[in-house]
């Protein structure tokens, strides 16, 4: 699925503010390499429904064995092993035996201590990897995990490694210590690096599995059909502390959702929730919903947080126009797209905004290869659009009691006619401050 940086930023897939970052909230990795591999997974939505289904099977199996996952390897263990390969030590005896092993331990105390520490951590590492092999090889429907299990088996299938897996690391003799050290440092480096790389991948996928359990995500069902589809029950934004769930049903005959409501009523949260669910579905992981059916989307584009560009002398409105132009050009390829637009044409006057918005909506709604969710503050353009049968009209209701706003965040059918800007200005004390000037 094609997704540009603007859309990733709009959906806060990555955000410097951790509490707003999707990546931060699904990051349950335990290693530095795992965290970077998770970032890679989250940056690159998958390119086919088959790839997504295989990833779903991987995550499902990992969720089934999360309680059997070994404590080791830890990030510390991997760092020790990496440092061992980077650090020069005095040469070990070529053939360790009783006398030369004790000699090395006595005359090369620092190197022996460092070696012992490294060997013990390596033993923890390979033992943990063996436990992982055993667990991902049982009742496994994931081709990816099956391939990984085969690779791990080959890497661990060395007599001396199997011996290390069975040994107690705290009872090794100096001879055993130096035999293992010789093998690990000089004959096992490439295999050790390969094992670490595989573990980083598994760490990242296990993170997606753990996130699905923690947030009670559901695995979406992908439907094979020509026309785009997005049908979701119980959709919610999982970063909201007390989220309200929504129902969304966009399809070929009703492919455009026209959304209205007062500021702060929930429009942006709803649009982002829909975008995040589709994005995560195309990563192959679970989504924040009770149930989701969708087609594979070739692309996801958003127009939510358009900015002006002072350096280039480009206004807010100009960049809105350029974003819409770019969107139209990209979705004219006949492939399946989901388009998210929040508050269209905020950067111009009311009269221009009405004309521009109506023109854009009437054009976009004819593109039946795409699904659209569009919010606007221009309620008056809604009535003329009711002539088009493929446009759904939804709004977020707001009630006022004694000049106090109340937001239910419930999605209703129809068009909002709330005019609450002045009331918010008054409620926040701005009117009183101005009167005192």
- Tens of pLDDT, residue by residue over 353-388, are 899 999 999 999 999 999 999 999 888 899 999 999
Q: What tokens appear for 301 in the block?
A: 């584009």
pLDDT tens column, 4-41: 999 999 999 999 898 899 999 999 999 999 999 999 99
Q: Is 63 helix (H, G, I), strand (E, B) or coil?
A: helix
The pTM (predicted TM-score) of the whole model is: 0.92
φ and ψ at 249, to 5 degrees? -140, 95
Domain membership of residue 236 (yes or no) is yes
What is the structure's pLDDT at 425? Answer: 65
pLDDT for residue 313 is more than 70: no
Vertex 121: Cα angle to 58 and 76 (nearest 5)? 70
Q: Is the peptide bond before 73 cis (omega within 30 degrees of 0)?
A: yes
Number of domains composing the chain? 2
Q: Is the pLDDT of residue 1 over 70?
A: yes
Give the pLDDT confidence of 35-89 residue by residue, as tens digits: 999 999 999 999 999 999 999 999 999 999 999 999 999 999 999 999 999 999 9
Indicate the pLDDT class of residue 420, thresholds 50, 70 and 90: low
Shared-domain flag, residues 188 and 227 = no
Say whether both 359 and 318 belong to one domain.
Answer: yes
- Do 209 and 225 belong together in one domain? no
Does 100 have pLDDT greater than 90?
Answer: yes
Residue 330 lies in a domain: yes
Confirm whether 3 is domain-assigned.
no
Q: Please tell me the predicted confidence (pLDDT) of residue 422.
A: 61
Q: Measure the CA–CA gap between 254 and 365, rounded to whole angstroms.
A: 9
What is the pLDDT confidence band of residue 310, given thresholds at 50, 70 and 90?
very low
Instruction: Return the bridge partners of 294, or none.
Output: 222, 230
Residue after which a domain boundary falls, among 214, 229, 253: 214
Domain that residue 427 falls in: 221-435
249 versus 435: the higher-pLDDT residue is 249
pLDDT band at 349 (very low <50, low <70, confident <90, very high): confident
Domain boundary among 214, 232, 255: 214
CA dist 1 and 383 (Å) reads 34
CATH number of the domain where residue 257 is located: 3.40.50.300
Is there a domain that residue 10 lies in? no
- For residue 305, the model assigns a pLDDT of 75
**For position 397, what pLDDT does the model report?**
81
Question: For residue 405, with 0-12 CB atoms within 10 Å meaning exposed, 13-18 middle and 19 or more buried, which class applies?
Answer: middle
Q: Are residues 243 and 185 in the same domain?
A: no
pLDDT of 428 reads 66
- For residue 185, being part of any structural domain is answered with yes
Report yes or no on 377 lying in a domain. Answer: yes
pLDDT of residue 307: 54
Position 18 in a domain: no
Is 47 in contact with 55 (CB distance < 8 Å)? no
In this model, does residue 347 exceed pLDDT 80? no
Residue 178 pLDDT exceeds 50: yes
Per-residue pLDDT at 317 = 80
11, part of any domain: no
Q: Which two tokens stand for residue 403?
A: 């000049």
pLDDT at 312: 41
Based on the domain organization, do 413 and 277 belong to the same domain? yes
Do 225 and 182 have their domain in common? no
On whether both 271 and 359 belong to a single domain, the answer is: yes
Residue 307 shares a structural domain with residue 279: yes
Do both 119 and 141 map to the same domain? yes
Mean pLDDT for all residues in the chain = 91
Peptide bond into 302 cis (omega under 30): no
């Amino acid at each position: 699925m094609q997704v540009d940086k603007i859309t990733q930023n709009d959906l806060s897939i990555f955000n410097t503010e951790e509490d707003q970052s999707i990546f931060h909230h699904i990051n349950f990795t335990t290693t530095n390499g795992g965290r970077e591999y998770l970032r890679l997974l989250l940056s690159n939505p998958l390119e086919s429904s088959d790839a997504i289904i295989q990833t779903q099977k991987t995550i499902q199996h990992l969720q089934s064995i999360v309680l059997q996952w070994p404590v080791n390897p830890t990030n510390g263990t991997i760092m020790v092993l990496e440092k061992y390969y980077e650090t020069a030590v005095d040469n070990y005896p070529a053939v360790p035996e009783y006398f030369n092993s004790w000699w090395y331990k006595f005359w090369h105390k620092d190197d022996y201590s460092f070696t012992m520490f490294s060997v013990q951590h390596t033993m923890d590492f390979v033992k943990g990897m063996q436990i992982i092999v055993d667990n991902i090889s049982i009742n496994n429907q994931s081709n990816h995990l099956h391939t990984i299990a085969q690779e791990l088996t080959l890497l661990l299938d060395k007599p001396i490694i199997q011996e290390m897996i069975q040994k107690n690391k705290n009872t090794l003799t100096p001879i055993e210590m130096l035999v293992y050290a010789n093998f690990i440092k000089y004959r096992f480096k490439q295999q050790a690096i390969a094992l670490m790389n595989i573990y980083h991948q598994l760490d990242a996928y296990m993170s997606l599995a753990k996130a699905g359990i923690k947030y009670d995500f559901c695995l979406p069902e992908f439907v094979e059909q020509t026309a785009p589809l997005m049908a979701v029950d119980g959709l919610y934004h999982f970063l909201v502390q007390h989220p309200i769930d929504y129902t969304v049903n966009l399809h070929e005959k009703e492919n455009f959702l026209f959304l209205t409501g007062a500021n702060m009523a929930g429009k942006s949260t709803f649009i982002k929730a829909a975008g995040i669910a589709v994005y995560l579905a195309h990563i192959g992981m679970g989504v924040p919903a009770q149930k989701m059916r969708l087609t594979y989307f070739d692309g996801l584009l958003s127009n939510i947080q358009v900015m002006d560009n002072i350096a280039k002398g480009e206004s807010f409105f100009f960049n809105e126009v350029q974003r819409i132009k770019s969107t139209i050009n990209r979705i004219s390829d006949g492939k399946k797209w989901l388009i998210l637009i929040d508050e269209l044409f905020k950067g111009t006057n009311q009269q221009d905004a009405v004309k521009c918005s109506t023109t854009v909506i009437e054009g976009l709604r004819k593109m039946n290869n795409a699904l659209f969710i569009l919010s606007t503050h221009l309620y008056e353009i809604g009535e003329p659009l009711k002539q088009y049968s493929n446009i759904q009209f939804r709004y977020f209701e707001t009630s006022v009691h004694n000049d106090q706003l109340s937001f239910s965040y419930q999605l209703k059918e129809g068009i909002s006619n709330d005019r609450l800007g002045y009331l918010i200005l008054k409620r926040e004390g701005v009117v009183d401050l101005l009167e005192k000037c």
